[in-house]
Amino acid sequence: MNKTSTLLKRHLKVIKDFPKKGINFQDIFSITKKPDIFNLIIKEISKVIKDNSITKVVGIEARGFLFGMTAANNNKLPFVPIRKAGKLPGEVRKLKYKLEYGHDVIEIQSSSIKKSDKILLIDDLIATGGTAVASVKLLRKFNSKKIISFFVIDLENLKGSSRLEKHSIEVLSLYKTQG
C-alpha cells in the first residue's frame, strides 16, 4: 500500500447503514475536505495520464467530475462529462442500461471524443460497476484508441472491477476495501 492508499484508509469516513441498512457508505467528501490528501490523489491520477499518453479525461457524474476535472486541468487536457439524460446541451450520444432496480440513461456530447483519443475514465468509487460498464459501452461508440478506468476507491466485494475487466478495460484504483 502506498502513501496515498494509507492516508485514504486512515481518513476516509465510512458511514454504516447509509443510505440503507447493510451498506457501508464510503464518504469521499471526508477526503475532499483535506487538500493535502486530495492533491496526492490528483498526483496519482496525473501519473496515470502521463504514463498512458492520455488525451482526454472523462468523468462520470457527479463525483467523478471532482477528480477528473482537476486532473485534466492540471495536465492541460480536455475534460468530458458523462451525465444523466437531459443534462447536456447539443447533440448527444446516449446509452440506456439496466440497474438492479430499473433502467437509467447516460449521455455524452457527440463532438467530445475522437477516434484518435486515449481516454482515462474517472469516478470516485466502483461498486457493482453498472454505471462504469455503461460508460465504457458509451465511449466505445466513438471507436477511441484506448480506454483506461481509474477509481479512487474499489469496493472489491461488489465485483465492479471484474465486470469492467470482462470488457477488456484496465482498472486502476488507489484504495481497495469492502462495501
For 27, residues 6+ apart whose C-beta sits below 8 A from its C-beta are 12, 13, 14, 15
Q: Which three cell numbers stand for residue 171?
A: 482498472
Distance CA 121, CA 68 (A): 8
Active-site residue set: 63, 100
Distance CA 81, CA 30 (A): 23
Of the candidates 164, 121, 153, 131, the one whose C-alpha atom is nearest the C-alpha of residue 25 is 153
